[in-house]
Structures are given as structure tokens and as C-alpha cells.
Amino acid sequence: MNNAKISTVTCVLIFVVVIGSLLLVNNFHVYKTAFAGAKKTKFNGADFKINNFGIDKGGFPFIDVEGTPGGTVPQKEDTGYAYVFETNKGTFAVSSDWMYPQWHTHEITLDENNCVKSMKMNNGGAEIADVVKLTETNATNVKKVMTAEFALGESDGSICATKIFDSDS
């Protein structure tokens, strides 16, 4: 091979190695970020004890809790925890469950027994830091909030609140 072909092949190989390394590092970072909250945690009731709720200075609905917002994720199969917001734009649950422990948001409709009648998957957003903040909903008023454990019914597949940790209106 002549020097030009060797140089071209060398450049292509270096390019492939560099791009591959960047993809590997980026994917590892995304993996660490996505699954950072999915660690085993002991239940802490204070993580669901409501101190305050409302609309923050940025115009987003929030729930402030006594403990660490999002600090407890479910450890049992067929179980989920939720921070539920009843707003002027609908009812939203920021939840963590046995299948997807990362906190995520659904728009839901609850019946009189706090069972889910309907659910729109990943409708809305959430930010969990000092408070649980509901985003991407255009809600401007929070009527009621609750924190709850939900479970999947064995016989009928329904999703119902099995424990209401706290609620406020």
C-alpha cells in the first residue's frame, strides 16, 4: 500500500475509535442518569408527608414534603407510589412503580374509591428536587393533592390506592 492509502485507513480507524468512545461514554452517562434513582430504598413515610402545595413562582404546581421528595421508591412487585395533583387541567400522578422506578407523570382519572379509571401514559412532566414539581401541563391552579401507594389488583388488573399517606386541599 502506498502512504496515501495507509494515511486514509489510519484516519478512518482513528475516527471510528473516537466516535465509538464518545458514544460509549455518552451512553454510560445516560444510563447512570436514567437509573440513578432506581436504587433500593427503605420506606420513609416523611417522603410522603405533605408540608405545603400550590403554584410556585415559575407557575408550576408543586408539593413540598417533610422528607425527601422522591426519596422512596417501591420495592414490591405490582406496587407504585404517587404524588397526585388535582388541577384545573386534570389530575396528574407523578409516580414510581415496580416496572419503572424512575419518577414519571401520567394524567389519570380516579373513581370514588381512588381506583384509576383512565390513564394517559407519560402525559405531563415532573422535576423532583427540593419539591415535587409538575411540568408540561399548563395547570395554573391546584385544588387538591395526595400521596399514595397504588397496587395492581391480582384478580382484575385494576390499579387502586391501597394506602393514602397524606392529602390536602
Report how far residue 13's alpha carbon sits from residue 163's, in angstroms, rounded to the nearest whole number: 58
pLDDT band for 7, please (50, 70, 90 cuts).
low
Q: What is the pTM of this model?
A: 0.76
Same domain (yes/no): 64, 11: no
Task: Report the C-alpha gap between 69 and 59 in whole angstroms.
Answer: 19
Which alpha helices (H) appear in 105-164, and where do they start and end?
none
Q: Please indicate, yes or no, if residue 39 is contained in any of the structural domains.
A: no
* Residue 17 phi, psi (nearest 5): -65, -45
**Segment 74-92 mean pLDDT:** 97
- Per-residue pLDDT, 80: 97
Q: Are residues 97 and 130 in the same domain?
A: yes
Any idea which residue has 395533583 for its cell?
Answer: 85
Same domain, 73 and 140: yes
| Residues 18 and 85 grouped into a single domain | no
> Within a domain: residue 52?
yes
Cα dihedral angle (117, 160, 121, 81), rounded to 10 degrees?
A: 150
Amino acid (1-letter code) at residue 28: F
Parent domain of 4: 1-34
